[in-house]
Structure 1
Amino acid sequence: MDIRPRTPADLPACVEALAAVQAADRYPVNWPADPGAWLTPDGMTTAWIATEPDAAPGQAVLGHVAITRDLELTRLFVTPAARGRGVAARLLETARASTPLPLKLEVSSEGRAAIGLYERLGWRRVGSSRATWLNAAGEPALLHHYVSP
Protein backbone atom coordinates (compact mmCIF):
# COMPACT_ATOMS: atom_id res chain seq x y z
CA MET A 1 0.00 0.00 0.00
CA ASP A 2 1.07 3.58 -0.63
CA ILE A 3 0.58 6.52 1.72
CA ARG A 4 0.63 9.96 0.10
CA PRO A 5 -0.71 13.47 0.64
CA ARG A 6 -4.34 13.87 -0.34
CA THR A 7 -4.98 16.00 -3.42
CA PRO A 8 -8.20 17.75 -4.47
CA ALA A 9 -8.67 15.02 -7.11
CA ASP A 10 -8.79 12.43 -4.30
CA LEU A 11 -11.73 13.98 -2.47
CA PRO A 12 -14.52 12.11 -4.33
CA ALA A 13 -12.79 8.76 -3.66
CA CYS A 14 -12.34 9.78 -0.01
CA VAL A 15 -16.07 10.51 0.27
CA GLU A 16 -16.83 7.12 -1.29
CA ALA A 17 -14.52 5.41 1.23
CA LEU A 18 -16.09 7.35 4.09
CA ALA A 19 -19.55 6.20 2.96
CA ALA A 20 -18.41 2.57 3.25
CA VAL A 21 -17.07 3.24 6.75
CA GLN A 22 -20.25 5.04 7.80
CA ALA A 23 -22.42 2.16 6.56
CA ALA A 24 -20.33 -0.36 8.52
CA ASP A 25 -19.50 1.58 11.69
CA ARG A 26 -21.62 4.74 11.88
CA TYR A 27 -18.49 6.90 11.62
CA PRO A 28 -19.32 9.65 11.49
CA VAL A 29 -22.42 9.01 13.60
CA ASN A 30 -24.45 11.39 11.40
CA TRP A 31 -23.68 11.60 7.69
CA PRO A 32 -22.58 15.18 6.99
CA ALA A 33 -24.53 17.39 4.57
CA ASP A 34 -21.22 18.08 2.80
CA PRO A 35 -18.89 15.10 3.35
CA GLY A 36 -16.06 16.72 1.40
CA ALA A 37 -16.11 19.70 3.75
CA TRP A 38 -16.31 17.35 6.74
CA LEU A 39 -13.13 15.66 5.50
CA THR A 40 -11.50 19.10 5.32
CA PRO A 41 -12.08 20.56 8.80
CA ASP A 42 -11.24 24.14 9.70
CA GLY A 43 -7.55 24.43 10.45
CA MET A 44 -6.55 21.31 8.53
CA THR A 45 -2.94 21.56 7.43
CA THR A 46 -2.37 18.18 5.81
CA ALA A 47 -4.28 15.02 4.95
CA TRP A 48 -2.93 11.69 3.76
CA ILE A 49 -4.57 8.76 2.08
CA ALA A 50 -3.70 5.11 1.74
CA THR A 51 -4.14 3.58 -1.71
CA GLU A 52 -3.13 0.47 -3.56
CA PRO A 53 0.40 0.79 -4.99
CA ASP A 54 0.67 3.19 -7.93
CA ALA A 55 -3.01 4.22 -7.78
CA ALA A 56 -3.70 7.38 -9.74
CA PRO A 57 -5.29 10.43 -8.07
CA GLY A 58 -9.00 9.87 -7.66
CA GLN A 59 -8.77 6.07 -7.51
CA ALA A 60 -9.94 3.92 -4.61
CA VAL A 61 -8.94 5.10 -1.15
CA LEU A 62 -8.20 2.52 1.55
CA GLY A 63 -7.82 4.98 4.42
CA HIS A 64 -7.51 8.63 5.39
CA VAL A 65 -6.10 10.83 8.17
CA ALA A 66 -5.67 14.59 8.65
CA ILE A 67 -3.88 16.94 11.03
CA THR A 68 -5.01 20.40 12.09
CA ARG A 69 -2.79 23.37 12.86
CA ASP A 70 -3.27 22.73 16.60
CA LEU A 71 -1.69 19.26 16.06
CA GLU A 72 -4.93 17.33 16.37
CA LEU A 73 -5.13 14.10 14.43
CA THR A 74 -8.60 13.81 12.91
CA ARG A 75 -10.72 12.08 10.25
CA LEU A 76 -8.86 8.78 10.58
CA PHE A 77 -10.65 5.88 8.95
CA VAL A 78 -9.96 2.67 7.06
CA THR A 79 -12.46 1.07 4.71
CA PRO A 80 -13.91 -2.25 5.90
CA ALA A 81 -12.35 -4.05 2.92
CA ALA A 82 -8.85 -2.81 3.84
CA ARG A 83 -8.88 -3.62 7.55
CA GLY A 84 -6.33 -5.99 9.01
CA ARG A 85 -3.60 -4.81 6.63
CA GLY A 86 -1.94 -2.24 8.92
CA VAL A 87 -3.45 0.73 7.06
CA ALA A 88 -4.39 2.70 10.20
CA ALA A 89 -1.00 2.12 11.80
CA ARG A 90 0.79 3.34 8.66
CA LEU A 91 -1.43 6.43 8.47
CA LEU A 92 -0.77 7.19 12.15
CA GLU A 93 2.98 6.68 11.62
CA THR A 94 2.95 9.06 8.64
CA ALA A 95 1.09 11.73 10.59
CA ARG A 96 3.41 11.40 13.59
CA ALA A 97 6.51 11.63 11.37
CA SER A 98 5.26 14.94 9.95
CA THR A 99 6.04 16.86 13.14
CA PRO A 100 8.49 16.53 16.03
CA LEU A 101 5.75 17.67 18.41
CA PRO A 102 3.24 15.34 20.07
CA LEU A 103 -0.13 14.92 18.38
CA LYS A 104 -3.47 14.70 20.15
CA LEU A 105 -6.76 13.09 19.22
CA GLU A 106 -10.25 12.48 20.53
CA VAL A 107 -12.11 9.20 20.11
CA SER A 108 -15.61 8.23 21.15
CA SER A 109 -15.83 5.54 23.81
CA GLU A 110 -17.88 3.58 21.25
CA GLY A 111 -14.78 3.26 19.04
CA ARG A 112 -13.37 0.26 20.86
CA ALA A 113 -11.26 -0.99 17.93
CA ALA A 114 -9.72 2.47 17.46
CA ILE A 115 -9.01 2.79 21.18
CA GLY A 116 -7.30 -0.61 21.15
CA LEU A 117 -5.16 0.42 18.20
CA TYR A 118 -4.10 3.73 19.77
CA GLU A 119 -3.18 2.07 23.03
CA ARG A 120 -1.24 -0.76 21.31
CA LEU A 121 0.74 1.92 19.45
CA GLY A 122 1.62 3.73 22.68
CA TRP A 123 -0.85 6.61 22.64
CA ARG A 124 -1.69 7.68 26.20
CA ARG A 125 -5.17 8.59 27.44
CA VAL A 126 -4.99 11.93 29.24
CA GLY A 127 -8.65 12.56 30.02
CA SER A 128 -12.27 12.22 28.99
CA SER A 129 -15.14 14.63 28.40
CA ARG A 130 -18.65 14.77 26.98
CA ALA A 131 -19.11 15.86 23.37
CA THR A 132 -21.62 18.40 22.11
CA TRP A 133 -22.91 15.81 19.58
CA LEU A 134 -24.92 12.69 20.28
CA ASN A 135 -23.73 9.10 19.99
CA ALA A 136 -25.69 6.21 18.49
CA ALA A 137 -27.71 5.89 21.73
CA GLY A 138 -28.80 9.54 21.48
CA GLU A 139 -26.67 10.67 24.43
CA PRO A 140 -23.76 13.12 24.49
CA ALA A 141 -20.80 11.02 23.36
CA LEU A 142 -18.07 10.24 25.86
CA LEU A 143 -14.78 11.32 24.28
CA HIS A 144 -11.40 10.01 25.37
CA HIS A 145 -8.43 12.31 24.79
CA TYR A 146 -5.10 10.83 23.75
CA VAL A 147 -1.54 12.11 23.21
CA SER A 148 0.96 10.44 20.89
CA PRO A 149 4.00 8.68 22.28
Structure 2
Amino acid sequence: MTPIRPRTDADLDACVKALFEVHAADRYPVDWPADPARWLTPADLVRAWVAVEDGRVTGHVGLARVEPEVAELVGAPVAGAVTRLFVAPGARGGGLAARLLDVVLAQAAPLALEVSDEGRAAIASYERHGWRRVGSTRAAWLNAAGEPALLHHYLSP
Protein backbone atom coordinates (compact mmCIF):
# COMPACT_ATOMS: atom_id res chain seq x y z
CA MET A 1 0.00 0.00 0.00
CA THR A 2 1.37 3.40 -0.99
CA PRO A 3 2.34 5.40 2.11
CA ILE A 4 0.79 8.82 2.68
CA ARG A 5 2.70 11.40 4.70
CA PRO A 6 2.73 15.17 5.30
CA ARG A 7 4.09 17.12 2.34
CA THR A 8 7.36 19.01 2.79
CA ASP A 9 8.88 21.79 0.72
CA ALA A 10 11.33 19.20 -0.63
CA ASP A 11 8.35 17.37 -2.23
CA LEU A 12 7.20 20.29 -4.38
CA ASP A 13 9.25 19.48 -7.49
CA ALA A 14 7.95 15.89 -7.48
CA CYS A 15 4.42 17.18 -6.88
CA VAL A 16 4.72 19.46 -9.92
CA LYS A 17 5.84 16.49 -12.06
CA ALA A 18 2.84 14.42 -10.94
CA LEU A 19 0.51 17.39 -11.43
CA PHE A 20 1.80 17.81 -14.99
CA GLU A 21 0.88 14.16 -15.72
CA VAL A 22 -2.60 14.81 -14.32
CA HIS A 23 -2.96 17.99 -16.35
CA ALA A 24 -1.97 16.19 -19.55
CA ALA A 25 -4.45 13.37 -18.88
CA ASP A 26 -7.37 15.25 -17.35
CA ARG A 27 -6.86 18.98 -17.87
CA TYR A 28 -6.56 19.52 -14.10
CA PRO A 29 -5.89 22.21 -13.37
CA VAL A 30 -7.83 23.56 -16.34
CA ASP A 31 -5.14 26.14 -17.09
CA TRP A 32 -1.55 25.17 -16.35
CA PRO A 33 -0.31 27.66 -13.73
CA ALA A 34 2.66 29.95 -14.42
CA ASP A 35 4.09 28.81 -11.07
CA PRO A 36 2.75 25.29 -10.35
CA ALA A 37 4.59 24.98 -7.01
CA ARG A 38 2.89 28.16 -5.83
CA TRP A 39 -0.46 26.88 -7.15
CA LEU A 40 0.04 23.81 -4.93
CA THR A 41 0.61 26.11 -1.96
CA PRO A 42 -2.30 28.58 -1.97
CA ALA A 43 -2.51 31.23 0.76
CA ASP A 44 -5.40 29.43 2.50
CA LEU A 45 -3.57 26.07 2.73
CA VAL A 46 -3.39 24.66 6.26
CA ARG A 47 -1.61 21.35 5.52
CA ALA A 48 -0.93 19.03 2.61
CA TRP A 49 -0.12 15.34 2.21
CA VAL A 50 1.51 13.28 -0.49
CA ALA A 51 1.42 9.64 -1.47
CA VAL A 52 4.92 8.49 -2.38
CA GLU A 53 5.87 5.21 -3.99
CA ASP A 54 9.44 4.32 -5.00
CA GLY A 55 10.47 7.94 -4.44
CA ARG A 56 7.78 9.28 -6.79
CA VAL A 57 4.80 11.38 -5.74
CA THR A 58 1.69 9.55 -6.92
CA GLY A 59 -0.97 11.58 -5.12
CA HIS A 60 -1.57 14.87 -3.32
CA VAL A 61 -4.25 16.50 -1.19
CA GLY A 62 -4.52 19.69 0.83
CA LEU A 63 -6.67 21.04 3.63
CA ALA A 64 -7.61 24.70 3.27
CA ARG A 65 -9.32 27.26 5.47
CA VAL A 66 -12.75 28.30 4.25
CA GLU A 67 -14.52 31.61 4.10
CA PRO A 68 -17.86 32.01 5.92
CA GLU A 69 -19.75 32.08 2.61
CA VAL A 70 -18.75 28.45 2.01
CA ALA A 71 -20.75 27.37 5.06
CA GLU A 72 -23.69 29.35 3.70
CA LEU A 73 -23.29 27.77 0.26
CA VAL A 74 -23.16 24.18 1.58
CA GLY A 75 -25.83 24.84 4.21
CA ALA A 76 -23.74 23.67 7.17
CA PRO A 77 -20.73 24.78 9.20
CA VAL A 78 -17.54 23.30 7.77
CA ALA A 79 -14.12 22.88 9.35
CA GLY A 80 -12.18 23.28 6.11
CA ALA A 81 -12.04 22.44 2.45
CA VAL A 82 -10.31 19.78 0.41
CA THR A 83 -8.01 21.36 -2.15
CA ARG A 84 -5.49 20.31 -4.79
CA LEU A 85 -6.49 16.64 -4.75
CA PHE A 86 -5.00 14.54 -7.53
CA VAL A 87 -3.69 11.07 -8.27
CA ALA A 88 -1.17 10.45 -11.04
CA PRO A 89 -2.65 8.43 -13.92
CA GLY A 90 -0.39 5.42 -13.31
CA ALA A 91 -1.49 5.18 -9.66
CA ARG A 92 -5.26 5.15 -10.22
CA GLY A 93 -7.71 2.36 -9.61
CA GLY A 94 -6.42 1.22 -6.22
CA GLY A 95 -8.34 3.55 -3.92
CA LEU A 96 -5.58 6.12 -3.41
CA ALA A 97 -7.89 9.12 -3.87
CA ALA A 98 -10.24 7.74 -1.19
CA ARG A 99 -7.29 7.20 1.16
CA LEU A 100 -6.09 10.76 0.59
CA LEU A 101 -9.58 12.05 1.40
CA ASP A 102 -9.62 9.92 4.56
CA VAL A 103 -6.36 11.54 5.69
CA VAL A 104 -7.88 15.00 5.38
CA LEU A 105 -11.14 13.93 7.04
CA ALA A 106 -9.15 12.58 9.99
CA GLN A 107 -7.85 16.12 10.56
CA ALA A 108 -11.10 18.04 10.35
CA ALA A 109 -14.74 17.40 9.56
CA PRO A 110 -17.09 18.19 8.05
CA LEU A 111 -15.29 19.37 4.95
CA ALA A 112 -16.37 21.01 1.72
CA LEU A 113 -14.94 20.63 -1.75
CA GLU A 114 -15.70 21.88 -5.21
CA VAL A 115 -15.21 20.13 -8.52
CA SER A 116 -15.73 21.21 -12.11
CA ASP A 117 -18.56 19.55 -13.99
CA GLU A 118 -15.89 18.36 -16.44
CA GLY A 119 -14.37 16.17 -13.70
CA ARG A 120 -16.81 13.29 -14.21
CA ALA A 121 -14.51 10.60 -12.75
CA ALA A 122 -13.82 12.74 -9.67
CA ILE A 123 -17.54 13.43 -9.21
CA ALA A 124 -18.34 9.71 -9.42
CA SER A 125 -15.63 8.92 -6.88
CA TYR A 126 -16.80 11.57 -4.39
CA GLU A 127 -20.40 10.40 -4.63
CA ARG A 128 -19.38 6.73 -4.26
CA HIS A 129 -17.63 7.65 -1.04
CA GLY A 130 -20.62 9.44 0.47
CA TRP A 131 -19.91 13.06 -0.40
CA ARG A 132 -23.18 14.93 -0.97
CA ARG A 133 -23.65 17.58 -3.67
CA VAL A 134 -25.19 20.62 -2.04
CA GLY A 135 -25.12 23.19 -4.81
CA SER A 136 -23.61 24.42 -8.03
CA THR A 137 -22.24 27.78 -9.14
CA ARG A 138 -20.39 29.28 -12.09
CA ALA A 139 -16.65 29.92 -11.79
CA ALA A 140 -14.73 33.00 -12.87
CA TRP A 141 -12.48 30.80 -15.05
CA LEU A 142 -13.44 29.09 -18.31
CA ASN A 143 -14.04 25.42 -19.08
CA ALA A 144 -12.86 23.56 -22.19
CA ALA A 145 -15.75 25.05 -24.20
CA GLY A 146 -14.66 28.59 -23.27
CA GLU A 147 -17.64 29.18 -20.96
CA PRO A 148 -17.63 29.93 -17.24
CA ALA A 149 -17.05 26.53 -15.62
CA LEU A 150 -19.88 24.88 -13.72
CA LEU A 151 -18.66 24.04 -10.21
CA HIS A 152 -20.39 21.51 -7.99
CA HIS A 153 -20.05 21.96 -4.23
CA TYR A 154 -19.90 18.93 -1.93
CA LEU A 155 -20.13 18.25 1.79
CA SER A 156 -18.24 15.35 3.34
CA PRO A 157 -20.00 12.34 4.81
Please classify the TM superposition score into its range, dividing by the shorter chain length. Answer: over 0.9
Which position in structure 2 is the counterpart of 1:109? 117
Which position in structure 2 is the counterpart of 1:82? 91
Which position in structure 1 is the counterpart of 2:57? 61
Give percent identity, aligned residues only.
66
Q: Secondary structure at the match of 1:146?
A: strand
2:36 maps to 1:31: no
Alpha-carbon shift at residue 85 of structure 1 (Å): 1.3
Count of residue correspondences: 143
Which position in structure 2 is the counterpart of 1:41? 42
1:44 partner amino acid:
L
**Structure 2-normalised TM-score?**
0.89
Which position in structure 1 is the counterpart of 2:77? none
Q: Secondary structure at the match of 1:119?
A: helix
Question: Could you list the runs of 5+ residues in structure 1 that have no partner in the other structure?
Answer: none
Deviations 1:74-117 (A, max 9, x none): 10000000000111010000000112x30000000010000000
Alpha-carbon shift at residue 51 of structure 1 (Å): 1.1
Q: Secondary structure at the match of 1:77?
A: strand
CA distance in 1, matches of 2:95, 2:52: 12
Deviations 1:6-47 (A, max 9, x none): 000000000000000001111011100000000011110000
